[in-house]
Structure 1
Amino acid sequence: MTVVLVDVANVVGSRPDGWWRDRAGATARLLHQLTALPGRELPGPDGAPVPVTALVAVVEGQAQDVDAPAGLRVVRAPGSGDDALAATAADLIDGDDDLLVVTADRGLRDRLPAGAAVTGPGWLLQALDAPPR
């Protein structure tokens, strides 16, 4: 069982689809898409199955006031999104489930607790685009 922790700003920014014109709208759309993942088994970054038990999304800046869809835990970063992600990862790593962090931010990756697996936004976007298993 795996908890997926998403660096929302990093994932939104990984697709050049005009998100910069409406950061909050792009964030809301991604959060809505993420609600489909808990309870699904996804092909993991290494090919092994990843049973997603929960999804935690960290939002920041102009997007921090976006409504949280039902079934999705949203952490609103009061300051640095990286600080909120690192702190949330530290809290989640102590649970019974594995932790998979989705970010391409190398500096953030260095701040994550030992035992946290990391993958880039491409993996998550591919999972969102694939039909449910």
Structure 2
Amino acid sequence: MTTVLVVDGANVVGARPDGWWKDRAAAARRLHAQLLVADIEYDVVVLVLEGQAKGGVPAGRDAHVRTVHAPKDGDTTIVAEARRAAENGDRVVVVTADRALDARVAGAGATTLSPTWLLDRL
């Protein structure tokens, strides 16, 4: 069974007050770089970016990290990614602190972890 970690990029970046709001694309680039070298126990990491953050990392696969650009809101894309992975029989975990999103991804077959959990591993 493949393990998939879907990362709510905006939520994770926003959990650390490091000036990310001054340059959202650079913040997304930093998060992507950290995910590439992170020691986490997931086969695939799906980084979902929205808005200005999409300018920091091109959509596509880079090693075990796949970056997805949300066409509209990030939450809808995160739910779709979680649902697709769960339907493939994968074990899916979504990283977010958004309670409404937590409920939506649970309905799609995923569990959630907090941004702090991820940031502690980066």
Normalised by the shorter chain, which TM-score bucket?
A: 0.7 to 0.9
**What corresponds to 2:57 in structure 1?**
67
Counting aligned pairs with the same residue, the percent is: 46
The SS at the match of 2:97 is coil
Preserved CA contact (<8 Å) 2:4 2:92 = yes
Measure, in 1, the Cα distance between the counterparts of 2:121 and 2:90. Answer: 20
Per-residue CA deviations over 1:52-92 (Å, capped at 9, x if unaligned) read 11100000000113224722201100111111111111111
Measure, in 1, the Cα distance between the counterparts of 2:46 and 2:68. Answer: 7
TM-score, length-scaled by structure 1: 0.81
Q: Give 4+ residue runs of structure 1 displaced > 3 Å after superposition.
A: none
Listed as ranges, the matches of 1:8-87 within 5 Å are: 8-37=9-38, 40=39, 42=40, 51-68=41-58, 70-71=62-63, 72-87=65-80
Aligned residue pairs, count: 117
Measure, in 2, the Cα distance between the counterparts of 1:122 and 1:35. Answer: 18
Q: Which runs of 5+ in 2 are unaligned?
A: none
Measured on the aligned residues, the alpha-carbon RMSD in Å equals 1.5
Quick check: 1:118 aligned with 2:112? yes
The SS at the match of 2:37 is coil
TM-score, length-scaled by structure 2: 0.88
The SS at the match of 2:18 is coil
Amino acid at match of 2:50: E
Amino acid at match of 1:7: D
Bigger CA radius of gyration: 1
1:120: how far off?
0.5
The SS at the match of 1:17 is coil
Measure, in 2, the Cα distance between the counterparts of 1:36 and 1:10. Answer: 20
Measure, in 2, the Cα distance between the counterparts of 1:86 and 1:24. Answer: 22
Amino acid at match of 1:10: N
Quick check: 1:91 aligned with 2:84? yes
